[in-house]
Chains A and B, each alone.
Chain A
């Protein structure tokens, strides 16, 4: 039997429930632009009085509007997009290094060397044309050294970046394990732990940007986080990753084993910044360095062979123009103007033999003809064609990487949009909620007023 007192109780519950609703709306508005915030919905339900209806309203907590499927998609898309972006950054640096638009690149320096041989042939006994050969060879060596050094430095920097990224992954794993523990405690105490869950989702998303990350909930309700196919956070325990180098200088990713040591998981590294860095370092950079070293080695060797056949005006023969290693390894970085001829223009071998000194020019012509000879890449390309090939291959790798970045970012922003559509705060919606709860609150206050009035009427009548 519902009496006036019950009306007051109902009105009181209504005030509590509606102000809870207002509170949740307030939270949503406050966090409208907080990254990783998932909108809450106040759950109101009727309060039963046993089997009777006519009870009031009760705030039964709140709902965090998430969708595991979309979150996983977002993690995956973030990983792929980060990998593409990280790789593209390195490719952009490589491309800038080989941009010969200003005529100051390696290609121009190489062309100048051959032009200097041509000029030498016109006036073999002139000290200036001889000095120009040395100057052009020096400029080529400088360019090759700079390019080679920059590529080596990039390789070192990328390893450092990879190490930093691995450290961040380990840090995130620790944080996620800690949050798992806090969430478990909060849940045990009956709290909804929404804020902690938001934080965990955000950390996992952040981790996805670093390395390919996959999550699932195991049988006992724990969130399991896997990176590169390996469980890194299981419930409240975190493992750590480490980085090593193979004999060929490529990077190796390991996960630490409980008993010590680590097992390699490099082959499962498919996404995140780390994958982009590894691809850029061990494939793209490696490839470019190798081609550059081969080009420098092959051209310098061909010039050396021809140069050694000729004679300098001092009568000396058999001298190299460049000092080179035995193989093309690091040739770009290590090539130098030979100590045999450095600072000795007279030792440039323009003549083919000592008998045609000082006016013989046939060796100079032969040197300049190397320009048209296929001496590079197993004698299949001329120097200019080989350089053009390198430029073309760098350009097409970068162009396809740029397209990749665009595509992956478009996919990511679509998934983000889906995620936002699901879990983001809509201020319009909150405005309506605000008005809704406000009106309900005002109506409940009115109910108290009405109950009070009725009570007064009753008391006045009875008390007379």
Chain B
């Protein structure tokens, strides 16, 4: 084959430009630590990475949901614990009041204590969390229990997405914990005890004991329910965290460059480029004219 100058130049230029572009790509891979910098680097991987990013975003949103609602749920649990403790105290007072040796004045004192408990309990039932009143259902801006013990809230669930197939309720039902909707009107039961103590009526005091007991177990049940919700939040969080981990791993596997391989490829191409420059120079130096 007849070889001309232009062919030599072209071949040197072509080789150098091809090597340079491969070297630039290898350098980008080694520097960024990413194998897929553009969709065309690996289309299938790029599509997977986009889906993984979406999944990661959803997982992050769910985990953030879990940690946001967790505070209110814990507050609800401890509030219900206090409420149930208060009912236990009320029961103690009722037992004391049932003692036949007590006089009207002592019972009046006990009645006053029951009233204090009732007031505390109203306060607890009106506890506010980060998203408003905890026991008001969806009426989070309305004080759920008036001083008379009347309920102004509702029994709507506060639902969020924590990764379950159906939306999960994360609030404690104030209606079921404190009102007749749960079986007993807690404040009504305390009122009955208060009235019985105030009127010094031992029969009524004995009769109110059952209500107090039931109310207490209603509050304990509500506490258990929110406790179960908290467990669900924990379980969901560990599921989401496992997905998070798996997604991160997949993202690194699919999109990440193997550092050792990326670096050795880069070094290899650097050397090749260097050699190509040297060889190119000696090819271009070839000329009969220089010999004359």
Residues of B within 8 A of A431 (CB): 287-289, 292
Given the complex, which residues of B lie within 8 Å of A99, measured CB to CB? 38-39
* 8 Å CB interface, A357-381 against B: 357-362, 365-366, 368-369, 371-372
Which A residues are in CB contact (< 8 Å) with B48? 388
Asked if B117 is at the interface of the complex by the 8 Å CB criterion, the answer is no
Tell me whether B5 is interfacial, beta carbon within 8 Å: yes
Binds A, one of B135-143, B183-191, B206-214, B261-269: B135-143
Q: Is the CB of A124 within 8 A of B50?
A: no
Most chain A beta-carbon contacts within 10 A, residue among B11, B38, B141: B38
Chain A residues 407 to 452 lying within 8 A of chain B, measured CB to CB, are 413, 416-417, 420-422, 424-429, 431-432, 435
> Chain A interface: which of B62-70, B74-82, B197-205, B273-281?
B62-70
A392 partner, pick from B46, B55, B167, beta carbons under 8 A: B46
Query: Which residue from chain A places its CB closest to the CB of B68 in the assembled complex?
Result: A122
CA–CA, A426 and B62, complex, Å? 72
Interface positions of B from 114 to 142, Cβ below 8 Å from A: 130-132, 136-141
* A394 beta carbon closer than 8 Å to chain B: yes
Interface presence of A224 (CB below 8 A): no
CB contacts (< 8 Å) of B36 on chain A: these are 101
In contact, A125 and B288 (Cβ under 8 angstroms) = no
Query: Are B136's CB and A413's CB within 8 A?
Result: no
Q: Is B37 an interface residue (CB 8 A)?
A: yes
Q: What is the bound-complex CA distance between A358 and B136, given in angstroms?
A: 11
The residue on B at minimum CB distance from A126 is B131
Residues of chain A with a CB closer than 8 A to B246's CB: none
Contact digits for A295-323, partner B, Cβ 8 Å, 1 yes 0 no? 00000000000000000000000000000
CB-contacts of A199-224 with B (<8 A): none
Q: Which of B34, B46, B60, B156 contacts A359 (CB 8 A)?
A: B156
- B161 CB contacts on chain A under 8 angstroms: 118, 121, 365, 368-369
Q: How far apart are the CA atoms of A427 and B289 in the complex, in Å?
A: 8
Residues of B within 8 A of A27 (CB): none
Among B50, B68, B136, B158, contact of A100 (Cβ-Cβ < 8 Å)? B50
How far is the CB of B47 from the nearest CB of chain A, in Å?
Answer: 3
The stretch of A106-114, A233-241, A260-268 in contact with B is: A106-114
The smallest beta-carbon distance between A434 and chain B, in angstroms, is: 9
B70 to A: closest C-beta gap in Å: 10
Residues in B neighbouring A371, C-beta threshold 8 A = 54, 58
Contacts of A361 in B (CB 8 A): 138, 158-160
- Establish whether residues B4 and A425, one from each chain, have CB atoms under 8 Å apart when the complex forms: yes
- Whether A392 touches B57, Cβ cut-off 8 Å, given contacts A121-B160, A123-B130, is no
The answer, yes or no, to whether B51 is at the interface (CB within 8 Å) is yes
Q: Given the complex of chains A and B, what is the CA–CA distance between A357 and B39 in angstroms?
A: 45
8 Å CB contact of B47 from A114, A395, A402: A395
- Which A-chain residue is minimally distant from B70 (CB atoms)? A122
Asked if A387 is at the interface (CB within 8 A of a chain B CB), the reply is yes
List B contacts of A426 (CB < 8 A): 2-5
Q: 8 smallest A-B Cβ distances: which pairs?
A: A395-B39, A392-B47, A395-B43, A384-B54, A359-B140, A111-B57, A424-B4, A398-B40
User: Which residues in A have some Cβ–Cβ distance to B below 8 Å?
Assistant: 32-33, 95-96, 98-101, 103, 107-108, 110-112, 114-115, 118-119, 121-126, 351, 355-362, 365-366, 368-369, 371-372, 383-385, 387-389, 391-396, 398-399, 402, 413, 416-417, 420-422, 424-429, 431-432, 435
Query: 16 extra interchain contacts, Cβ-Cβ under 8 A, other than A391-B46, A392-B39?
Result: A95-B38, A111-B57, A115-B60, A118-B64, A126-B131, A355-B156, A356-B137, A368-B61, A371-B54, A388-B50, A388-B54, A389-B47, A413-B10, A413-B14, A420-B7, A427-B287
Binding site for A on B (CB under 8 A): 1-7, 9-11, 14, 34, 36-44, 46-48, 50-51, 53-55, 57-58, 60-62, 64-65, 68-69, 130-132, 136-141, 154, 156-161, 167, 287-289, 292
Report 18 cross-chain contacts, Cβ distance below 8 Å, ordered by A residue: A98-B39, A99-B38, A101-B38, A107-B53, A111-B57, A121-B167, A123-B68, A124-B158, A126-B131, A351-B138, A359-B141, A361-B158, A368-B61, A383-B54, A391-B39, A392-B44, A393-B43, A435-B292
